């Protein structure tokens, strides 16, 4: 923060950094803005590349501007031409700057006549950070190769040259060619009955930011789950996925009752191979999801509630920069809880809120002060680093506080108005706060001080008066865990037969960082946690067992790490192993075998961890 350099707008005091150009993009949207993208792509599985032609429709903001600046990362640019309003094309000069480690290469195109469109012919590289290429052997059905994208946060630039900042929204169309028998899907309207003839066309009529541009291709089947939803997955997975997500229409209808009509027509789900690095990605019209959600009892379907909630908070109203990402993730986590409560009950919603809050209380103190803020000073924070627990869990906690102070009915009406007012726009934290003050605080005085709001948003840590929901079941688990650790309650006397996934997560999360080995052995002998198919429970169990020195779990932990590429469920095990020389050596062996099946983001995270461990860096806890 730079408190001496501020600008007052209405009742708000805005840091000048809020108005600065996105530090994670070379683009200059104040000079010229991309409004539409037309893509022609050819998927080349043997070469692991996309051969592309991107035609960008431009809106010139500055009549004196003579160049268009785009973001790229490792793209091979073959040619660029400008197209005037009459459709005449002329070659344009361009320069590709040296590669920046985080941002990629700045592409500057000379545009002295300010063309209506610019067309770029290019190809990607096999190591593109936003794409993963899988061989048939790395898929569930082992029949065809598979490719999928992950553009958030700034990885779209690795497969399309564009203004890769959430401040810029554009519509798009795409024509994609692929081998026959391969289905291609994108973050647009998809046709479950499209013939697998190698030619696919897509249209996204709503303006989206670049990080929501998505594509996948492979042996993908489709199964309808409702009048406006379907599940896409490999043939052996699609039936199980459709069963797990059969409540999708109910989730959509519930969200609509709370926050207004669903604006995107269809809401489909693509279940990706296990290497997908996240739980879900809220690509418009088609959420990309991890198969680790398929546990058979719908206990992890809140991830789908979360990605669906993004259809309002994030996709409809978008953070203008990664510094403001809590506007996406905090609002979405709050809405997720409301959907979960309405469909699956208050007990589950409160348990999930408590799990996230307790975890944040445990971890936030170890973060740098700036990273603890909802709206941090953007300098020094990478775009990917912005996606910590803080925007999700502190952001949603703040909104739950507002709901408690103003009352649910009043807050619901405010939130519905907020989504409607800023629909299909990208906004800053300060714009959100300006609207909050005018439409909630000024209309309902005396409920909460504005200083409290500023403390939530701009101060590090969690306010001392932050409210938490009650959970009698969690309270009972706290008592049982304490008695178990004290030796007054045996493992087989734990009332765990009826525990759901969240309750097992809570029990394990509350164990000491290094729990007594004998206690963990007793727990495993009774409840058979080693080898669990539930990845949420497995991640927690193996992390504790490794920390306690239980080598008997190492092979099962390695199987977990090799089978699952989701960062959240895999990295804690690598971190646990990396704390000892022997564990680090074992983890390196596991990684050597599993690496080819990991997403580039997962590979980068593991390699960075290993490098820190070898330097003796003790910050990885």
Q: Which residues contact 394 (CB under 8 A, 6 or more apart)?
A: 326, 330, 360, 364, 372, 374, 456, 462
Q: Which residues contact 73 (CB under 8 A, 6 or more apart)?
A: 99, 103, 104, 105, 128, 129, 130, 155, 157, 158
Q: Is the pLDDT of residue 14 over 60?
A: no
Helices 326-344 & 346-363, crossing angle to 10 degrees?
A: 150
**What is the pLDDT at residue 13?**
35
Q: Is the pLDDT of residue 11 over 70?
A: no
Pull the structure tokens for residue 571.
């990295």
- Phi, psi for residue 195 in degrees, rounded to 5: -65, 145
Pull the structure tokens for residue 421.
């007012």
Query: Angle CA(438)–CA(434)–CA(163) in degrees, nearest 5?
Result: 145
> How far is CA 483 from its chain centroid?
38
Tell me the DSSP string of 313-345: BTTTEEESSGGGTHHHHHHHHHHHHHHHHHHH-
Alpha-carbon torsion 580, 586, 589, 594, what sign?
Answer: negative
**What is the pLDDT at residue 419?**
98
Residue 372 DSSP code:
G
Contact 535, 516 (CB under 8 A): no
Contact 519, 488 (CB under 8 A): no
Q: Is the pLDDT of residue 410 over 60?
A: yes
pTM: 0.92
CA distances from 60 to 28, 31, 130, 229, 320 (A): 11, 6, 29, 38, 20
pLDDT tens column, 443-474: 999 999 999 999 999 999 999 999 999 999 99
Mean pLDDT calculated for residue range 422-439: 98
* Measured distance CA(51)–CA(78) in Å, rounded: 10
SS (H, E, C) 211-228: HHCCEEEECCEEEEEECC
- The catalytic site residues sit at 307, 392
The length of the chain is 621
**What is the pLDDT at residue 182?**
98
Q: Is the pLDDT of residue 556 over 90?
A: yes
pLDDT tens column, 362-390: 999 999 999 999 999 876 677 777 678 99
Whether residue 601 has a cis bond before it, omega within 30° of 0: no
Q: Is the pLDDT of residue 621 over 60?
A: no
Q: Is the pLDDT of residue 18 over 60?
A: no
Q: What does pLDDT average to over the chain?
A: 94
**What is the pLDDT at residue 386?**
63
**What is the pLDDT at residue 584?**
98
pLDDT tens column, 80-92: 999 999 999 999 9
pLDDT tens column, 38-91: 999 999 999 999 999 999 999 999 999 999 999 999 999 999 999 999 999 999
What structural domains and CATH numbers belong to the chain?
36-58+72-87+112-308 (2.60.40.1730), 314-458 (1.10.390.10), 472-614 (1.25.40.320)
State what percent of residues in the chain have pLDDT above 90.
Answer: 92
pLDDT tens column, 206-222: 999 999 999 999 999 99
Mean pLDDT calculated for residue range 347-357: 95
């Amino acid at each position: 923060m730079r408190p001496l350099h501020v600008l007052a707008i209405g009742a708000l005091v805005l840091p000048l950094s809020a108005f600065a150009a996105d530090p994670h993009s070379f683009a200059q949207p104040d000079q010229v803005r991309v409004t539409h993208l037309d893509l022609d792509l050819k998927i080349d599985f043997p070469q692991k590349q996309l051969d592309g032609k991107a035609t960008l429709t431009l809106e010139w903001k500055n009549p004196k501007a003579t160049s268009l600046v785009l973001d790229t990362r490792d793209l091979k640019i073959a040619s660029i031409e400008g197209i005037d309003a009459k459709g005449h094309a002329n070659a344009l000069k361009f320069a590709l700057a040296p590669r920046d480690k985080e941002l990629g290469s700045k592409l500057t195109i000379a545009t002295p006549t300010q063309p209506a469109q610019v067309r770029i012919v290019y190809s990607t590289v096999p190591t593109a950070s936003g794409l993963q290429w899988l061989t048939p052997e790395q898929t569930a059905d082992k029949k065809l190769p598979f490719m999928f994208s992950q553009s958030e946060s700034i990885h779209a630039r690795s497969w399309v040259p564009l203004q890769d900042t959430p401040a810029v929204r554009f519509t798009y169309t795409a024509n994609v060619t692929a081998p026959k028998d391969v289905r291609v899907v994108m973050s647009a309207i998809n046709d479950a009955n499209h013939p697998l003839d190698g030619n696919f066309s897509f249209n996204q009529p709503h303006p989206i930011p670049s990080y929501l541009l998505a594509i996948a291709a492979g042996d993908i089947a489709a199964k309808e789950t409702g009048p406006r939803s379907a599940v896409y997955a490999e043939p052996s997975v699609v039936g199980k996925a459709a069963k797990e997500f059969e409540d999708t229409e109910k989730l959509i209808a519930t969200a609509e009752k709370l926050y207004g009509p669903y604006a995107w027509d269809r809401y489909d789900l693509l279940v990706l191979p296990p290497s997908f690095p996240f739980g879900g990605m809220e690509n418009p019209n088609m959420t990309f999801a991890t198969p680790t959600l398929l546990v058979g009892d719908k206990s992890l379907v809140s991830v789908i509630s979360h990605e669906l909630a993004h259809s309002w908070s994030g996709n409809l109203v978008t953070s203008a920069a990664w510094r403001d990402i809590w506007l996406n993730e905090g609002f979405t986590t709050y809405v997720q809880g409301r959907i979960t409560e309405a469909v699956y009950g208050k007990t589950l919603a409160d348990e999930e809120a408590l799990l996230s809050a307790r975890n944040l209380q445990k971890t936030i103190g170890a973060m740098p002060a700036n990273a603890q803020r909802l709206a941090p000073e953007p300098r020094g924070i990478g775009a990917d680093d912005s996606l910590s627990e803080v925007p999700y869990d502190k952001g949603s906690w703040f909104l739950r506080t507002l709901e408690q102070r103003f009352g649910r009915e009043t807050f619901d009406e405010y939130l519905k108005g907020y989504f409607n007012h800023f629909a299909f726009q990208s906004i800053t934290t300060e714009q959100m706060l300006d609207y909050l003050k005018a439409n909630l605080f000024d209309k309902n005085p005396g409920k909460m001080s504005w200083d409290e709001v500023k403390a939530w948003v701009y101060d590090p840590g969690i306010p001392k008066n932050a409210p938490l929901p009650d959970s009698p079941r969690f309270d009972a688990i706290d008592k049982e865990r304490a008695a178990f650790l004290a030796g007054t309650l045996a493992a087989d006397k734990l009332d765990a037969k009826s525990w759901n996934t969240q309750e097992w997560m809570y029990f394990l999360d509350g164990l000491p960082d290094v729990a007594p080995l004998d206690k963990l052995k007793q727990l495993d002998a009774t409840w058979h946690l080693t080898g669990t198919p539930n990845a949420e429970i497995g991640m927690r169990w193996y992390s504790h067992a490794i920390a306690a020195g239980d080598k008997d779990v190492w092979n099962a932990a390695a199987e977990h790490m090799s089978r699952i590429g989701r960062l959240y469920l895999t990295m804690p095990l690598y971190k646990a192993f990396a704390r000892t020389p022997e564990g680090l050596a074992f983890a390196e062996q596991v990684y050597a075998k599993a690496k080819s099946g990991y997403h580039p983001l997962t590979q980068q995270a593991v390699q960075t961890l290993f490098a820190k461990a070898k330097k003796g860096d003790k910050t990885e806890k």
